[in-house]
Structure 1
Amino acid sequence: MFAYVGNGQYCYANSTSMLLDSIGEQVSASLIEVLTGVGLGAVWFEEDNMIFFSNGIPHLGVSKALDILGFTYNERSGMDEVGMMDQLSAELKDHPILIGPLDMGFLSYMPNHHDLHGCDHYVLAFGLEDGWLRLHDPAGYPFAKLPVRDLVQASKTNRLQYRFYPSDLVYHYWTSPMRLRQRTSNEIYHEAVLYFREVYLDADHIALKQGWKTGGDAFTALQQHLKGEKIDPGLQGHLTHFAFPVGARRALNYSEFFQPGNARLSELKLMQSEMFGHCHSLAVRGDWHALGEAVRCLGELELQFRERLFDDGQESRAY
């Protein structure tokens, strides 16, 4: 196996990497992405006929990744926009801020932002002047400017499609990271594995209360939906532009992460990555019957991966 190098929709991981770089710490976005636990599992939202190949919650995952890497940081959340801009303005005088989740439909510097309502995003802000927020957007917009009025709307989570997010946040950000200790690769690996198990268990608990389908049930729900061969354009666009390609990249990064510590977990994630890529090709062609079978295979791989991850007797060795 050799590395994939290229662009990918790793907005929170790339923004976190930029935040750490601001204090002279170089941590790859690929490692941060894995340590967030995002990309593990799957969830099917019946009310939307929508699947996400993840049980992780990005804003919680960013904090956990920083913890695992040995950093302290300041994290702020609010459910009232009163005083929000005064607080951000004071913070930005001293250091950059990682802001998110944001609703991409209100990021007006993006040419197609009107088509992106409900999609979550993260950026690194570094200045505020004359009613404009200055920022680096890892989706391809360095030194972008966003009107403050749009930031206020973008910061609200009540319209986001990924229902694991709390619906009542008005803003959320991180700032002032500082290295508390230098973690060894072995420590990072073992803390991450424990956290990955928590991601699955927490998602199971939330999904049970909400009536959502996770894991193998989520893949089965998508497979059954594809059998109808009347695919909503929203689902098709989600699968072809985001879910399948980013699923392939995430699984490949997980494979690379597990390779030194557990060869079987690494192998399963590599197989998943290849299958996500295959699914993407089938979805672009509109071959729904073949895609349904490929999704079934993805579900089987997911069940095998989870079982292996929770196996107390699994092979595990230090880096």
Structure 2
Amino acid sequence: MKHIPYVGSGPYCYANSFAMMLGADAPSTLAIEFATSSPFGMQLLGGTLPFFDPYGWTPEAGFDAALDAMGWTSAVTKSNSEEDALAQLKLALFDGPVWVGPVEMGHLRHQPGMSGPIAADHYLVVLSVDDEGVRMHDPQGHPFSTLPLDDFLTAWRAETIDYGDPYTMRTDFRRVRVVQEDDVIRASLPAALRWLSMKHPQHVPEGTVGNDEAAHRLASMIEGGCSDDLRGHLIHFAVRVGARRLTDAATCLARIDQADAAGIASEQALLIGSLQFPLVVGRDAEAAAILRKLGPTYPRLLSSLEGTSGKS
């Protein structure tokens, strides 16, 4: 099948938040996402929770490298208390919007259906704050949303997020050099290759497996009885963002003449995207079969990128 780039909605919270902060000079969100290395792998955290992103990777693990590849820097602030965090946020807002996260999405009660922690990370851009609450651009589809201050601070504490630190924000985004978008993609390839190789993990709970093994293990889990929590995680988040990331990765790789790798990434995107319907309607054997087809694509992609390393 010919690769068709995807344009539409999806859970691209940190890429969209970066794009808002970088303004008119921002690369496209597909290049931002590519630069974080998120498309390059699969992991089953603790042997139970699937993500279509690299083994041992978290969003924070890719941010600084992504900004560097794009020619930008930012200042990271982390606070030890709610009072200090709020004071730092108010001070930073004098200079403009502030990039905030991770936050616990379940406490963002402006999003329909959210009423408590769900262990889901999220990123957003705060525009203003006062004694009543915050106003923000929430890239989940809620521009200029407001949220009571207590809810925001509880979300920002990120107690149920398994990586990162409470009350983290980024400010002082500065462009230190001009990098064309295709060069952002090229500069990001070495990091993508490292993550895909599974040789440099940063966040590996006991029992975590990656890539081919993760795909086959997840297939067996689904066949053995897919729990409501696992199904919900897959159909509401993991499949959607996984297919989107790989669709964008295929587009990026094709732009820098990595045709073979682009074809494999496009195949991965098609397979992951094909999981959505069978998982929603309970055709679990079909979903498991798709995952078993997905597994061997990870060593193929690694081999393709290793074979062209330094030639792009």
Q: Quick check: TM above 0.5?
A: yes
- 1:142 maps to what in 2? 143
Q: TM-score, normalising length from structure 1?
A: 0.89
Q: Which gives a bigger RCO, structure 1 or 2 (Cα 8 Å, sep 6+)?
A: 2
Deviates more, 1:216-225 or 1:184-193: 184-193
Q: Which residue of 2 aligns with 1:117?
A: 118
Equivalences for 1:47-86 in 2 at 5 Å?
49-55=48-54, 56-86=57-87
CA distance in 2, matches of 1:25, 1:218: 38
Gap runs ≥5 in structure 1: none
Map residues 1-319 of structure 1 onto 2, 5 A cutoff.
1-21=3-23, 24-46=24-46, 49-55=48-54, 56-114=57-115, 117-160=118-161, 163=162, 165-166=163-164, 169-185=165-181, 187-200=183-196, 205-206=201-202, 210-228=206-224, 230-259=225-254, 260-311=256-307, 313=308, 316-317=311-312
1:12, 1:62 within 8 Å by CA — same for their partners in 2? no
Distance, in Å, in 1 between the alignment partners of 2:128 and 2:154 is: 18
- The code of the aligned residue for 1:91 comes to A
Cα distance in 2 between the residues matched to 1:78 and 1:130: 19
Compute the displacement of 1:209 (Å): 6.9
Runs of 4+ in structure 1 off by over 6 angstroms are none
Measured in 2, the distance between the counterparts of 1:223 and 1:286 equals 14
Farther-moved stretch of structure 1 (207-216 vs 285-294): 207-216
The alignment partner of 2:192 has SS state of: helix
Question: Displacement, 1:315?
Answer: 8.3
Which residue identity does 2:216 align to in structure 1? T
Percent identity of the aligned residues? 27
The alignment's TM-score, normalised by the length of structure 2, stands at 0.91
Task: Measure the CA separation in 2 of the matches of 1:120 and 1:207.
Answer: 15
Alpha-carbon separation, structure 2, partners of 1:203 and 1:146: 41
Deviation at 1:202, TM superposition (A): 6.4
Contact preservation (8 Å) 1:95, 1:176: no
Q: Aligned in 2, Cα 1:158/1:200: closer, same or farther, shift over 3 Å?
A: farther
Kindly provide the amino acid, as one letter, of the partner of residue 88 in structure 1: L
Deviation digits for residues 128-166 of structure 1 (CA, Å, limit 9, x no counterpart): 123311100011111111222222211233312xx4x24
- Paired letter, 1:146: L
Q: Is the 8 A contact 1:73 1:177 kept in 2?
A: yes
The answer (yes or no) to whether the contact 2:45–2:204 under 8 Å persists in 1 is: no
CA deviation vs aligned residue, 1:285-306 (integer Å, no higher than 9, x gap):
2111121111011111122112
- Decide whether the 8 Å contact of 2:39 with 2:246 is kept in 1: yes
User: Once superposed, what is the RMSD of the aligned Cα atoms?
Assistant: 2.1
Structure 2 residue runs of 5 or longer lacking an equivalent are: none
Structure 2 distance, partners of 1:77, 1:247, is 29
Contact 2:235–2:279 (CA under 8 A) maintained in structure 1: yes
* Offset at residue 91 of structure 1 (A): 0.3
Q: Deviations over 1:238-276 (max 9, x none)?
A: 111211122111111000000023111100011111111
Residue 3 of structure 1, CA deviation: 2.5
| Corresponding letter in the other structure for 1:3 | P
Q: Quick one: which amino acid aligns to residue 258 of structure 1?
A: L
- Kindly state the Cα deviation for residue 105 of structure 1 after the two structures are TM-superposed: 1.1
- Aligned with 1:105: secondary structure? helix
* Contact 2:46 2:205 survives alignment (8 Å): no
Q: How many residues align?
A: 307
- Compute the displacement of 1:207 (Å): 6.2
Q: 1:97 to 1:207 in 2, by over 3 A?
A: closer
Residue 7 and residue 146 in structure 1: after superposition, are their counterparts in 2 closer, same or farther (change >3 A)?
Answer: same
- One-letter code aligned to 2:45: F
Amino acid at match of 1:240: I
For structure 1, which segment, 284-293 or 59-68, has the greater mean C-alpha deviation from structure 2 after superposition?
Answer: 59-68
